[in-house]
Structure 1
Amino acid sequence: MFATIALSQSAVTGKVTGSADKQPVFGATVSVKGSNVATQTNNVGVYTINVPSGQAVLVISFVGFETMEVPVNNRQTVDIELLEKTTTLTDVVVTGYSSQAKKDITGSVTVVKVADLKATPAANAETQLQGRAAGVTVVTSNQPGDGASVRIRGFGSFTYNIPLYIIDGVPANGLGFLSYNDIESMQVLKDAASASIYGSRANNGVIIVTTKKGKEGPPKVAYETYFGNQRPGKGFDLLNTQEYAELTWLAAKNAGKTPPSSQYGSGATPRIPDYILPAGRMEGDPDVDPGKYRLNMDDIPNAYLIVRANKQGTDWYDELTRNAPMMLHNITVSGANNKNRYLLAFHYFDQDGIVMNNFFKRYAVRLNTEFNIKNALRIGENLALIMSESNQVLNNEEGSDIAFSYRSQPIIPVYDIMGNFAGSRGDGLGNSDNPVARRARAKSDRSHNYTIFGNIYAELDLFKHLTARTSFGGYFNYSNGYFNSWPTYENKENDVLDAFTETNAKASFWTWTNTLSYKQVFNNLHDVQAVVGIEAVENKGRSTESRRQGYFTDALGFRTVSAGSGTQTANGAPFPESALFSLFGKVDYTYNDRYLASFTIRRDGSSRFGPGVRYGNYPAGSLGWRISEENFMRSVSWITDLKLRGSYGIMGNQMIAETNQFTQFSPNNQSSYYDLGGTSTSSMQGFYLSFIGNLAGKWEKNTTANIGIDATLFGGNTEVILDVYHKKTTDLLYQAEQLGNSGTSAANNPPFFNIAAMKNVGVDLSIFQRVDIGGKDGVKLDGTLTFTTYKNEITKLTETVRFFDVDVVDEANRIGGRFVRNMVGQPVSAFFGYKVIGLFQSDDDVNKSPTQNGAAPGRFKYLDADGDGRINEDDRVIFGNPHPDFTLGFNLNASYKNFDLAVFLYGAFGREAINYVKWWTDFYPSFPGGKSKDALYKSWLPDRTNTNVPIAEDAASFSSTAQVNSYYLENASYVRMKNLALGYSIPKKILDRFKIDNLRFYVQATNLFTITDYTGLDPEIIGPDQSFGVDAGIYPTVKNFVLGLTLNF
């Protein structure tokens, strides 16, 4: 009988290729219809299968392609070309230690279109992620080399809200070193079902990146380059010299004072002097005789400087900024055959900042290889070597170069009469620094960063459906910096230090991951996929800093720590080591391609916590129903695929100081000297209690519920993905008050306890639409809309404390209060203070209003929140927050013949921001620096009462500049044209003559326009999680115009 069966079968062989690129399809499933006989194509797309008869039908399937049925018709060779599917719901998605077809995923996963990332020329992929993934909020920085603030589904912690980044299976500190040209795929795991397999590191979501590998075929070369010209966006709207003088007179008049006479004279109207140093001098005055000029850097206090007034007014922002170039070069060589595949890539990126002497450069080499040792054994590696160099400026600080561009008076020129720097040295000129001088002196400062990142791995097919994998990866990072402090002479408050500082730091991380993966289909009904694994992780590092003063020359070659004459200071500290040990498992089950279920469990043990609470368990489960596969849906032709899914699970957060569990003692000259001999003259240094540890501190726990719908409509031309979620974080780590008997230092630096809670609820929506106009040779359009909204709320702090304030930009010292209050019932980083309800219009208005210190016509009128008739600290309220109501990203791609067009718009709506710059520029008495046009032309006057700008006066009070209030609050909503690109590809019939696969030229513009009511430099304001949304002079918006090409052969 067995012989009869064998004789009735015949072997059929063939090759499976893609219809578009004619490349072999590796891993396609070839089965005999109506039987359990099946096989897969090898590395070159070849298959062999036994069929029961010459009239059998082969079924060929592979993710991303249409499933085909091909009759054998007594043939021995059957070659097949697979058609690409028009829907992305069948694409393979990496979901953490494994991959699935997207149609089978029951968690909330966003697949980022990598081709769209290049729409925004930038140094890192984090910035390019903005608006590309629903549920992901990205706030970017315009400074070269800066990363972006990426938050997935709001905020879940006070201590750490950064997502976990996984690159080729290895955790990474962001994507800052990665070029978009390296990325093959990117997924964002947003709920517990998709992310909890990463356990205690998944609290803030997971971003998984797979880098490119070599593809089957002969060696291929890809080259891309672009050159860009960056232009600074709008500056500050400040007064010129004449206007500043008029404001000085107006402010003195309104305050009942005599105007200051040192610079502008003592007449009824101000007189603009010819010289400001010596103060207020006119041409011909013997005090401005150039022969008297004297500057000796060894005797700065006795310098005699002569500075001519800039009567037109210095635009300090314009002096500080400039047009700046940027360029990129990427070259990749790749290939593969049935034995190995390889990819070698070189990357160079160079971006000058629009601020003087500000730049970022990156050089990178990537090598990815894989070798088939035997049919069942594969080994490979992914290796990246990265070196970067930068000179960066302080960002969003009142002591930054950008801040000094609004803190400097317009009458001060950049240079004095001898070409040396001018500044605030002189009467009535304030205490600002010359920002141009600061950047000139920082020209030689450098930061270098060297990183090795990657992994080596091996895969062994133990049995037909069981694969073992081991991967050892990590990174080593070394960084150093060189910074000079030069003596200054031109300022009111000069720096006398002539110092050189050198910093060094090294950090290493390794992870060893071992998994067993199982995948099998039973009876064409039951699809089971499972993975179990074990993982170990370790981090450690060290930093040092050396500093010395007293150098005999300014020559940079002699600026070393050993060359100075002063006392050398050195500090060094190890980064506290940490380790993580984990066990995990996941099972995915599909019945009849219709009913889906998934269960995940992970157990983590972290050295960051005490022995009794070191381990945490993170389970998650999800269910899915592909409604479109039900019989009752067969007649609904316009629904191609429809899936309902839901998930529930727990994730964690272990990111807390490694030392939180330990009680610590420290030496200190004032706190730890003890008279052990009883003589009062023989004290010996000891140790004092500086920190009381918390051995009970444990994981933050994030419980997430998610309901989602995935729909593909109209034959794949429309795709809709909708998620609704509720995320609750408990056992939130918070620094509670320490007992008074703990000692002053320990009480002021309490440990973290698990006592707070927070929640986020929100909606993620992504809509994709494809439209073809005019058939095959017509216009092809596709657009993607992403919508993100979340509501964040602090639900608990401690039993006795319901809020804590954060000093963001030293406003506690400047204004006597703090802008940010984190408070139960409010979102993180809410804005707090007195709410301005108008300006006092008259003495009668003052008398009829609640009692308010400093109340006077033209000053702020505050809300009496408690209604007791008195304005005091009990009347302070939450008056805004920086969280957007929602964000939108819209990407449109169009092509016609050889032309292509890309448009990308991004907007954040319902955001608010604190424009702290207004404290410096809108109020005369704050500091005598640059002042706004509003201060002169819109400030309150008895005959100009229809305004919100208070009276200009040379006086400070509770009702004007001396309290945090809502005057600084602005609507920071905006819509921005992030990208506009037009490309042209040389026709293929021309390229074929030169054996070139593709040659495309393009022009591109970014940040072409921004629609916003915000008056600062940029409505995107980056900052710490507990206190973001406060603008002290953010790095400006940058417009970028790019010319580039891509070449493939």
Structure 2
Amino acid sequence: MENRCVPLTVLLMGLSLYSVAQSPTAPLLAAKSRGTASSITSISRPETVKLTKPAAVKGITGQVVDETNSPLPGASIIEKGTQNGTTTDADGNFALNVADDATTLTVSSVGYVTQDVTIANQTTVTIKLVPDNRTLNEVVVIGYQTVRKRDVTGANDVISPEQANRVTANSLAESIQGLSPGVTVRNTGVPGQQASVQIRGVASFLNTDPLYVIDGMIADANVTINNDDIESIQVLKDASAAAIYGSRAANGVIIITTKQGKEGPTRVSFSAKYGVQNVYKRWDVMDASGFAALQRQQYENSGQTPPASVATGTFNPNINTDWQDQVLRTGSLQDYNLTLSGGTKTGSYLVSGSYFKNAGYVTGSDFDRASLRINTRSELGRFTVGENLVLTNSNIQNFPAGNPIYDMAQMLPVIPVQDPRYINASNPLGYGIGTYPDAVTYAYNPVAVRNLASNRNNFAKAVGNAYLDFKFADWLTYRFNAGLEVSFDYNQTLRRIGVYQYNAAVVPSSVGETRSRYYSLLFEHTLNFNRTFGKHSINGVVGISQQTARSDNTGGSRTNLATSGGQYFSTINAATGISNSAGGTPTHYKILGYLGRINYAYNDTYLLTLTGRVDQDSRFGSNYRTGFFPSVAGAWRISQEKFFSVPWISDLKVSASYGKLGIVVPTLGSFPYTAFINNNPRAIFGPDQIPNVGAYQAQLANPDLRWEERLSQNYGVTASFLNNRITAEVNYYNALSSDALLNLPVPGYLGNLQGNPYVNTASIRNLGVEMAVTYRNNQHALKWDVSGNLTTIKNRVENVGNQGQDINYIQSGNTRSQVGRPVGQWYVLKTDGIFQTQEEVNNYKGPTGTLIQPDAKPGDIRYVDTNGDGRITQNDDRQFVSSPWPKLQAGAQLNASYNQFSLNLQFVGVFGYTVYNSVRRALDSYQNTNFRTDVNPWSPTNTSTDDPRIGLEAGNQGIIANNFAYTDRWLENASYGRLRNIEVGYTLPQTLLSRIKVRNARVYLSGQNIFTVTGYSGMDPDVTGVNIQERGGDDGHWPSPRVISLGLSGEF
């Protein structure tokens, strides 16, 4: 399908022209157009729009000016309590007929405080509006400090929590897709599983996750925070913004501030949402009759006689299992929140409770989370004390074996879910798993997996902090912050007697339990200062931070579960078979940091920011235990200069930053730089056959192990136009990650018996452009705004260290990370159509005249002999083909309201990347699997097709070659555009709510992932991938669901 996109600039121009046409300045423009005979005559509407016509009227004329007495064109004047209004002309003048008894006009303009003006018996008025300092002085959190947004010199972005919360999601990460340029989110439909988040590309081969800071506590936010509790979301992208977090900030920082109580009487707010979810696309595979017909053709094309039951169609003639129906269901989402808050001038409080439940669209997959959040704040003279605490308890149930999304497409429709004929000692419930030779498949029976095994997880977590502020002076404040994160995780697996895969080994019943705990303590002391001396302004923060973390786990399992009445006991003590227990190696580390930032501004025109942090990490040896992470940034507000006088440009600022950030890979453990010896091996020598104690080096020493580093530079332009009606920001970034960790190949004869050790050896460069534009129109009863963002991201491997002689790459499956190319670029055999005749096969020769594909037959895939050696091999003839990383990603949002109705739209687009479709590879291999309904195998009478001939692999090298795993046959363009969310809301009228003593209430209907435009044949092009080096692999990715929700929110 052809994608047709309307550029955002065209949309904005159209909206702007519409706004101009609606303003009273349109007649002036028309009058000017009539100045020459050749001009086009325009017909304009009257200046005054009367939506109500009172019986008796009076005329009001006047002018609207700003704080400097300059005219304000386009200001809105409305007779209060009606929809009768007009707007000012280019000189700020207006004329309006109002009801004879009218006493008040409501006057507003973008960027100014709305005023109610009493007219009494006046017929001529002059109205002065003052700037809305809420816009000019809007503050953002930049780490240990809040500053005015207009004074920011680094690449910071603010994500609207209201926009994020419109998406019904398991976690915060899933909600922010498309809302911020440079932030890449890849979602999954697995209940309770994290979405993948990357900020400005890939900085590491091992860790691309951003750092999360919740109310000052560095902690994992995804499964902890309820989206409804979030007050603000800040994304720190470049070195200037993130250097205050030093060694953990190279992947970006997401700062989350939760809602606090506000001054005023006690308020009770609530929200409730219920939705249903399902997949919007299924695999179109054959039913039993279609499968049987193609199975017979498969035998015949291979010159083999099909089994009698297949040839006659008598194999399970009454079975036609739709395995997708057996796996998929209509799931549900529930989200309930209740908040109690209030406060005085010297204190505030907030208590909230929430419950979220996701019954997944795959039967047997569920997630629920209950949370309680408490915060208070009290001012005692110069002291302010407070705390934030979140308690959560989550449960996840998912498939313990196989992947139902992958298996349901391959399972054969002629296999029943269960059948008494299959009951035996190893299969007591008679699950259908296939039979030889009639119906063989190696996919798992997903219903059997669901009923024979279980995998349940419980997570209990507490995250919080307590703080004390002391104000030495109005410009100097000390803060002590103590943070805590504690989690207790419990996992139980249960395996009943039975089989769920053809030809699989029979295993006894078993039960296993794993328990783990984690805690982290954070202590910080900071001094914040803020002084102004005439035209000079300086503010900043200095401090010290210490964080300690420890984790450990233990587990046990046992076979041969006891049963009673056909029910299994699910405790280890009830089992009677083999017992196994294990304890993981505890992880314990400390980080000590010294931090500082200084922001200087002269006359609000020239801005300078210096930031630095020194970190010491116990996970590294003495050679590299300490690291310094500095940054510098500057900005010039051109619009403040006397020589700059462009009335339609409200603000114009250019900025630049440069600095260094660090990354720590969480899986390194406590002492990754130290050598370890394993003394378990035993060896028998001599005639006495006495075991002797042996040893081997379990971990090689690397005293030079250290942080991964990222050198980041950013150049930006921020501007606003038409009195801040349009705002725009453009950033160019270029970041080089050096000392990235990779596994160094070390042969076993040098003592390496436990895997290749980590070394700091690789480099990755990421560069791109981010753009964001917002247009606001709040001048009329119809209020709306539209915003959009675009991001280009390009990554390139600069170095992979010593991987061996003449080796400048890292191989991972069907991808290769090679110097000069993207991380994990597809590295596969290139196909060149299908052999149509034997003559084509015979003419496809190498340089020596030998056949390049001697086993091929007409109807087989032709491969490109890349190295020209006259033969096709899967290792030597691969070449680079496309990339799993998108060239462009985009997001757009539209918010509109008219009286009590509201509309919100969110769009997401990702373009220029390819996905390896492993499910289609399984289906189109024709071997032990179902077939696509639209499969079109080649035959002598059907040569216009991309599908090769069908046959059995056994003894047929041509068919085997058609199904090579590492070929471009399975790569697909996965570019897509998606309506991420649509929400229609209605705010109930106060006349109704006042009767039931409700302050406000709103009902809304929303749709999520309503439609997707893509050419990808899989269930969802938005795949998370297998790992960083195989980011575009679709191995049965659980698609993002379509969700229809109904919600209610309000406040008492």
Task: Quickly name the TM-score band, shorter chain normalised.
Answer: 0.7 to 0.9
Secondary structure of the corresponding residue to residue 959 of structure 1: helix
Question: Which whole-Å CA distance do the structure 2 matches of 1:153 and 1:377 have between them?
Answer: 40
Find the partner of 1:119 among 132, 150, 166. Answer: 166
TM-score, structure 1 length as denominator? Answer: 0.84
Question: Which whole-Å CA distance do the structure 1 matches of 2:967 and 2:855 have between them?
Answer: 15
Q: Does 1:579 align with 2:590?
A: yes
Cα distance per residue 1:801-848 (max 9 Å; x no partner): 4455555xxxxxxxxxx2122222221121111011211111111122
Cα distance per residue 1:750-782 (max 9 Å; x no partner): 22112111100111111111124xx54x21111
Secondary structure of the corresponding residue to residue 623 of structure 2: helix
CA contact (8 A) 2:744 2:802 kept: no
The alpha carbon displacement at 1:680 in A equals: 4.5
Q: Does 1:750 align with 2:756?
A: yes
Report what 2:105 is aligned to: none
Q: How does 1:646-685 map to 2 (within 5 A)?
A: 646-655=656-665, 657-658=668-669, 659-668=671-680, 672-675=681-684, 678-685=686-693
Cα distance per residue 1:200-224 (max 9 Å; x no partner): 1011011111111111111111100
The alpha carbon displacement at 1:255 in A equals: 2.1
Report what 2:399 is aligned to: 393
The alpha carbon displacement at 1:489 in A equals: 4.9
The alpha carbon displacement at 1:601 in A equals: 0.9
CA, structure 1 residues 558+631, in 2 after alignment: closer, same or farther (shift >3 Å)?
same
Report what 1:919 is aligned to: 921
CA, structure 1 residues 421+132, in 2 after alignment: closer, same or farther (shift >3 Å)?
farther
The gaps in structure 1 that reach 5 residues or longer are 1-32, 34-63, 70-80, 265-269, 274-279, 281-307, 808-817
Provide the aligned C-alpha RMSD in A. 2.3
Find the partner of 1:349 among 341, 353, 356. Answer: 356
Question: Which whole-Å CA distance do the structure 1 matches of 2:114 and 2:277 have between them?
Answer: 51
Q: Does 1:438 align with 2:449?
A: yes
Report what 2:696 is aligned to: 688
Report what 2:1033 is aligned to: 1030
Question: Which whole-Å CA distance do the structure 2 matches of 1:461 and 1:896 have between them?
Answer: 46
How many pairs does the alignment contain? 906
Q: Does 1:241 align with 2:288?
A: yes
Q: Does 1:162 align with 2:209?
A: yes
Q: How does 1:753-764 map to 2 (within 5 A)?
A: 753-764=759-770
Report what 1:898 is aligned to: 900
Report what 2:229 is aligned to: 182
Cα distance per residue 1:661-688 (max 9 Å; x no partner): 01112244xxx10347x44522044432
Find the partner of 1:271 among 303, 309, 312. Answer: 312
Cα distance per residue 1:355-393 (max 9 Å; x no partner): 11111000000001111122x100110000000011023
CA contact (8 A) 1:389 1:449 kept: yes
CA, structure 1 residues 581+782, in 2 after alignment: closer, same or farther (shift >3 Å)?
same
Secondary structure of the corresponding residue to residue 137 of structure 1: strand
Report what 1:728 is aligned to: 736
Question: Which whole-Å CA distance do the structure 1 matches of 2:633 and 2:964 have between them?
Answer: 55
Report what 1:563 is aligned to: 574
Report what 2:264 is aligned to: 217
CA, structure 1 residues 541+82, in 2 after alignment: closer, same or farther (shift >3 Å)?
farther
Report what 2:610 is aligned to: 599
Secondary structure of the corresponding residue to residue 312 of structure 2: coil
Question: Which whole-Å CA distance do the structure 2 matches of 1:723 and 1:557 have between them?
Answer: 60
Percentage of matched positions with identical amino acids:
32
CA contact (8 A) 1:87 1:717 kept: no
TM-score, structure 2 length as denominator? Answer: 0.83
- One-letter identity of the residue aligned with 1:379: V
- One-letter identity of the residue aligned with 1:943: T
Report what 2:842 is aligned to: 847
Report what 2:48 is aligned to: none
Q: How does 1:338-417 map to 2 (within 5 A)?
A: 338-374=345-381, 376-393=382-399, 399-417=402-420
Question: Which whole-Å CA distance do the structure 2 matches of 1:87 and 1:1044 have between them?
Answer: 30
Question: Which whole-Å CA distance do the structure 1 matches of 2:785 and 2:567 have between them?
Answer: 55
Secondary structure of the corresponding residue to residue 290 of structure 2: helix
Report what 2:944 is aligned to: 946
Q: Does 1:504 align with 2:505?
A: no
Report what 2:479 is aligned to: 469
Question: Which whole-Å CA distance do the structure 2 matches of 1:122 and 1:98 have between them?
Answer: 30
Q: Does 1:208 align with 2:255?
A: yes
Report what 1:968 is aligned to: 970
- One-letter identity of the residue aligned with 2:182: G
Find the partner of 1:549 among 559, 575, 589. Answer: 559
Q: Does 1:785 align with 2:795?
A: no
Report what 1:109 is aligned to: 156
Question: Which whole-Å CA distance do the structure 2 matches of 1:489 and 1:205 have between them?
Answer: 46
Deviates more, 1:1024-1033 or 1:900-909: 1024-1033
Question: Which whole-Å CA distance do the structure 2 matches of 1:790 and 1:911 have between them?
Answer: 11
Cα distance per residue 1:21-73 (max 9 Å; x no partner): xxxxxxxxxxxx9xxxxxxxxxxxxxxxxxxxxxxxxxxxxxx986999xxxx
Report what 2:458 is aligned to: 448
Q: Does 1:327 align with 2:334?
A: yes
The alpha carbon displacement at 1:108 in A equals: 0.3
Q: How does 1:695-706 map to 2 (within 5 A)?
A: 695-706=703-714
Secondary structure of the corresponding residue to residue 947 of structure 1: coil
Q: Does 1:172 align with 2:219?
A: yes
Report what 2:865 is aligned to: 864
Question: Which whole-Å CA distance do the structure 1 matches of 2:236 and 2:354 have between them?
Answer: 28
Question: Which whole-Å CA distance do the structure 2 matches of 1:245 and 1:202 have between them?
Answer: 57
CA contact (8 A) 2:111 2:724 kept: no
Secondary structure of the corresponding residue to residue 249 of structure 1: helix
Report what 2:1022 is aligned to: 1020
CA, structure 1 residues 128+480, in 2 after alignment: closer, same or farther (shift >3 Å)?
same
Report what 1:643 is aligned to: 653
Question: Which whole-Å CA distance do the structure 2 matches of 1:87 and 1:250 have between them?
Answer: 73
Report what 1:422 is aligned to: 431
Deviates more, 1:346-355 or 1:460-469: 460-469
The alpha carbon displacement at 1:991 in A equals: 2.2
The gaps in structure 2 that reach 5 residues or longer are 1-67, 69-109, 116-127, 424-428, 846-851
Q: Does 1:148 align with 2:195?
A: yes
Find the partner of 2:302 among 255, 272, 275. Answer: 255
Report what 1:98 is aligned to: 145
The alpha carbon displacement at 1:124 in A equals: 1.1
Question: Which whole-Å CA distance do the structure 2 matches of 1:556 and 1:158 have between them?
Answer: 46
- One-letter identity of the residue aligned with 1:526: H
Deviates more, 1:458-467 or 1:470-479: 458-467
Question: Which whole-Å CA distance do the structure 1 matches of 2:753 and 2:854 have between them?
Answer: 36
CA, structure 1 residues 310+788, in 2 after alignment: closer, same or farther (shift >3 Å)?
farther
Find the partner of 2:631 among 603, 620, 624. Answer: 620
Q: Does 1:794 align with 2:802?
A: no
Question: Which whole-Å CA distance do the structure 1 matches of 2:286 and 2:230 have between them?
Answer: 48
Question: Which whole-Å CA distance do the structure 2 matches of 1:854 and 1:84 have between them?
Answer: 80
The alpha carbon displacement at 1:1040 in A equals: 0.9
CA contact (8 A) 2:275 2:332 kept: yes
CA contact (8 A) 1:235 1:318 kept: no
Deviates more, 1:513-522 or 1:248-257: 248-257
Secondary structure of the corresponding residue to residue 247 of structure 2: helix
Question: Which whole-Å CA distance do the structure 1 matches of 2:862 and 2:167 have between them?
Answer: 45
CA contact (8 A) 2:478 2:528 kept: yes
Question: Which whole-Å CA distance do the structure 2 matches of 1:679 and 1:786 have between them?
Answer: 78
The alpha carbon displacement at 1:723 in A equals: 0.5
